[in-house]
Amino acid sequence: MPAPETSDPLDIPPWLPEALHAFAFRDYRRQWAGAFASSVGSWMQQVAQAWLILELTASPFYLGLDAFLGLAPMLGLSLAGGAIADRVDRRKLLLASQAIQLSSASTLAILVGAQALEGWPLVYAMLGLSFLTGMAQAMSGPAYLALLPNLVPKPLVGQAIAGNAIQFNLGRVVGPMLAGLVLARFGATACFALNALSFLAVMAALATIRAPQQAAAASQSWKQDILAGARYVFGNPLRRRLCLLAALTTGLGIAMPTLLPQYAKVVWQGDEVLFSRLAACSGLGAVAGAIAAAAAAKRARQLPLAVGAQAALGLCMALLAATGRLWLAYLWLFAGGAFLVAAYALVTTCFQQTVEDDLRGRSASFYMVCFRGGMAVGGLCAGTLAHWWSAPATFGLAGLALLVVALWAAADGRAPLPRRLRQTTERGGTTA
């Protein structure tokens, strides 16, 4: 499934900024617009659901449990999803996933709107629907990650990944802001219903893009496909270390967005509007970080930048834990959101640049096990720790751990990853 070719080296309009060159391609623009609409809806639901769970349970543990159940399916099902993504039409797999997520959001809107469930039964229903949504995302996530690089020429793959981070995190700005207004005026039901409608946008985009020719399906069994993907990813020192770095970064960094409702309500005695403002501030920083990652996507030494962003994120989380002023909390959330997404995007770009297309689906599935699996375990641990301790203390501990991981990654000289990664990028291939 080769990436689109161009007659000119890149055939980019001269007026388009370098960080946005991927937007010169029609299918990428359509996919981006549809995904952005869905991201806004998903963040609206996430804010409303987190606030509702906190009101019903008064415990940050259930915030962590909700995050865990939404991400836990990545630990297993994404491996099958990666094998499927290399065998079937990736667009059809993505469309099926969007339909399941639409049904889940609609069900939640009906349950809350009709008051069919209240109290703990409603909490359990929300947790169950989070798990169902996570299953759909786990099956289709590798297909999405594998389809994305095929919508732009190969030199722009890094920008396409960073651009996808921009839309996701721009949704983190718009979604929570809208959620705060809608939640205060119309209630959680409206947030869930708007999320259900948002899935129609991404389904329309997927139905209209011209997908490139996909490589022929492998003739070996599913088990052999998965084992071949495991050998390809974890048998290579560079890819193996990138997966470990992704798991540690997401596992520790997820504490900040997971515990933000508890932080707003307990530390600042705020309501859902203050929570939405804090979440939007973090999202605005995330957009800035994604734009910076897109600008750096064509540079050679991306891995040192990722490690630096990880260290800066740890420092911001530690400062957030110690601050006693709200305006400083906004500042550290903005900076932390920027460094969090920059680290995510740069590590993911490094990994994608080492992967061949015929193994991209399976490679993406193992990477997502590490990336999203780190989020799942980290979210549950953060919620449990905050339940017995406090949200600020959890921020501080996770931030210090991120600093230690960054120092380890920077000091580990056993394999000179930055130089090998630069050589890999310049060849456009993989390391042996």
Q: What pLDDT is attached to residue 169?
A: 67
User: Comparing 169-173, 184-188, 389-393, which segment has the lowest mean pLDDT?
Assistant: 169-173
pLDDT per residue over 170-179, tens digit each? 777 788 778 8
CB contact set of 208 (below 8 Å; sequence gap of 6+): 30
Lowest mean pLDDT among 8-17, 124-133, 372-381: 8-17
CATH architecture of 18-208+219-427: Up-down Bundle (1.20)
Question: Per-residue confidence at 99, pLDDT binned at 50, 70, 90?
Answer: very high
Query: For residue 331, is pLDDT > 80?
Result: yes
Mean pLDDT is lowest, of 198-202, 220-224, 392-396, for 220-224
Q: How long, in residues, is the chain?
A: 432
Nearest Cα residue to 1 out of 157, 141, 138, 139:
157
pLDDT bracket for residue 12 (50, 70, 90): confident
Whether pLDDT at 109 is above 90: yes
The predicted structure's pLDDT at residue 415: 42
* Average pLDDT along the chain: 79
Q: Which residue has the higher pLDDT, 96 or 425?
A: 96
Q: Please give the pLDDT value at position 107.
A: 94
Stronger pLDDT, 174 or 11, i.e. the higher one: 174
pLDDT recorded at residue 358? 67
Percent of the chain surpassing pLDDT 70 = 84
CA distance 142 to 104: 21
d(CA 41, CA 43): 5
- Binned at pLDDT 50, 70 and 90, residue 215 comes out as low
Q: 431 phi and psi, to 5 degrees?
A: -90, 145
Q: Is the pLDDT of residue 79 over 80?
A: no
Tell me what the mean pLDDT of segment 119-124 comes to: 89
Residue-level pLDDT at 414: 43
Mean pLDDT for the stretch of residues 291-314: 76
Looking at residues 31-51, what average pLDDT do you find?
A: 89
> Residue 167: its pLDDT value, please?
80
The pTM score is 0.69
> 340-363: per-residue pLDDT in tens?
888 887 888 788 777 776 677 677
Q: Which pLDDT score is estimated for 132?
A: 93
Average pLDDT, integer, range 143-147: 77
Checking if the pLDDT of 217 tops 70, the result is no
Question: Residue 127: pLDDT band by 50, 70, 90 thresholds?
Answer: very high
What's the per-residue H, E or C state across the chain? Answer: CCCCCCCCCCCCCCCCCHHHHHHHCHHHHHHHHHHHHHHHHHHHHHHHHHHHHHHHHCCHHHHHHHHHHHHHHHHCHHHHHHHHHCCCCHHHHHHHHHHHHHHHHHHHHHHHHCCCCCHHHHHHHHHHHHHHHHHHHHHHHHHHHHHHHHHCCHHHHHHHHHHHHHHHHHHHHHHHHHHHHHHHHCCHHHHHHHHHHHHHHHHHHHHHCCCCCCCCCCCCCHHHHHHHHHHHHHCCHHHHHHHHHHHHHHHHHCHHHHCHHHHHHHHCCCCHHHHHHHHHHHHHHHHHHHHHHHHCCCCCCHHHHHHHHHHHHHHHHHHHHHCCCHHHHHHHHHHHHHHHHHHHHHHHHHHHCCCCHHHHHHHHHHHHHHHHHHHHHHHHHHHHHHHHCCHHHHHHHHHHHHHHHHHHHHHCCCCCHHHHHHHHHHHCCCCC
More confident residue, 422 or 222: 222
**CA atoms of 150 and 212, how far apart (whole Å):** 7
Q: What is the structure's pLDDT at 198? A: 92
Comparison of pLDDT for 221 and 407, the residue scoring more: 407
The answer, yes or no, to whether residue 371 has pLDDT greater than 60, is yes
* CA 32 – CA 35 distance, rounded (Å): 5
| Least confident window among 98-112, 268-282, 353-367 | 353-367
Query: How confident is the model over 293-308, as a mean pLDDT?
Result: 71
